[in-house]
Each structure stands twice: as structure tokens, then as C-alpha cells.
Amino acid sequence: AQSVAQPEDQVNVAEGNPLTVKCTYSVSGNPYLFWYVQYPNRGLQFLLKYITGDNLVKGSYGFEAEFNKSQTSFHLKKPSALVSDSALYFCAVRPSNDYKLSFGAGTTVTVRA
Amino acid sequence: DSGVTQTPKHLITATGQRVTLRCSPRSGDLSVYWYQQSLDQGLQFLIQYYNGEERAKGNILERFSAQQFPDLHSELNLSSLELGDSALYFCASSFGGGGANEQYFGPGTRLTVT
């Protein structure tokens, strides 16, 4: 069975500062990893994914994530946060040999002006 | 806008009743997924259909059922509703049925059971 942990319920940063949202996972076999963002009263929006290849993945809105196999982590980063990045962020994992996508509990990001 | 549409947006019903939620995937997408989002359970995968066939099943109750029609739209049927079924139900779609495909989510249907 697979699982995802997002150890921080909330992350607060000042605008212009770096933003990191942590994610660790547990899966049998090779993982497919995803980040999604949810704004209030909206559905989830896809940000980026890691399937194979380069460990550093670049996605939408200036976000990137680094896959670390030894630490089973897939942290989301943005060099300079914007107030508009304030939202709920979900990490998700899917084993390469399965169809079920498992989500973490989510991390609320607040970027203050 | 993801291109995935869901109706209705809100639904209020009583315990014991049955409701149907509808989803139209993005144009060209063959897979449809259903999720339930609640405060205590988080985001839970319910079921996936690919080109009309059931592909994967998650934490879906026996009182719930789904299907995907030839035009690829999907319906999620919830019956014998309980207070605990109150949640946000999302539909998502992807082109392929495999694990590497990102999913595109609809705006959700908020179900309130009273």
C-alpha cells in the first residue's frame, strides 16, 4: 500500500521569501509523484509531476520539486513566494504498477505581504 | 478552467435518499476518476473508469456506484445517504488510464445530507 505524508499542516512565509512545502512518501516499486494546488471553493490544479529522469522537476507558476529517492521525498519549492500563492497544496503518489492515486493531507500555505 | 464540468454545484438532501452526480471529462480524455473530500478523511480516491470500463477501485462504499457512458461522461450514484456522506465530491479526467498521467479536476459538487 502507498501513503503520503505532509508533515506541516501550515506554512507561513513573507512575500519574496523562498517557499518549501514538504512531502514524503511510501510506495512499493517506482513512484509517480504529483503536486496539486487547491484555491478556496475550487477544484485541484495540477502543478507538476515526477515520472522518471531528472530529479529536479519544473512546473507551473514558477514551482519546482526535487525527487530524492534515498529520502523518499518530493518537496515543492518556489524561490520567491507571492501573496497569490496562498492556497492548499497536496502531494500525491501512485505506484508505477497501480492506478490508485493517494493524496497527502494537504499543507495550507499563507504568504503575507 | 480545467475543462472538466460537474453538475450540480450544490446538493442538499435528507438521510436515506439517493442522488446522482454528473461529470463531463475534458475533450479527448478517456479516464474519469471520482474523489471524496471531507475534513476528517481528506481527499479519498473512490473509483476510476477508462473508456467505459472500471479500471480501479478505492475506498468506495457499497452504497455508492458509478458508471461511464459511451460519450465518456460519468455519473456517481450515492444511495441510502447518511450524515457522514456530506462532503465535496470531485471528478477528474486524464487522457490515458495509466499512472503517469496527470489528472484534471472539476470544480466539485458539494453534498450536504441533513
Residue-by-residue pLDDT tens, chain B, 114 positions: 889 999 999 999 999 999 999 999 999 999 999 999 998 888 999 999 999 999 999 989 999 999 999 999 999 999 999 999 999 999 999 987 777 889 999 999 999 999
pLDDT of residue A46: 94
d(CA A11, CA B85): 30
Q: Which residues of A touch B90 (CB under 8 A)?
A: 43-44
Cα angle: B46, vertex B49, B50; to 5 degrees: 150
Tell how strand A10-14 and strand A107-112 pair up.
Answer: parallel
> DSSP character for A83?
G
* DSSP β-bridge partners for residue A102: A93
Below-50 pLDDT ranges, chain A: none
Q: What's the pLDDT at A95?
A: 86
Best of A99, A103, A107, A108 to substitute, by most chain B Cβ atoms within 10 angstroms, is A99
Tell me which residue in A43, A95, A100 faces B90 most closely, judged by beta carbons. Answer: A43
pLDDT at res. B20: 98
pLDDT number for residue A22: 98
User: Among A51, A100, A103, which would you mutate to test the B interface (most chain B Cβ atoms within 10 Å of its Cβ)?
Assistant: A100
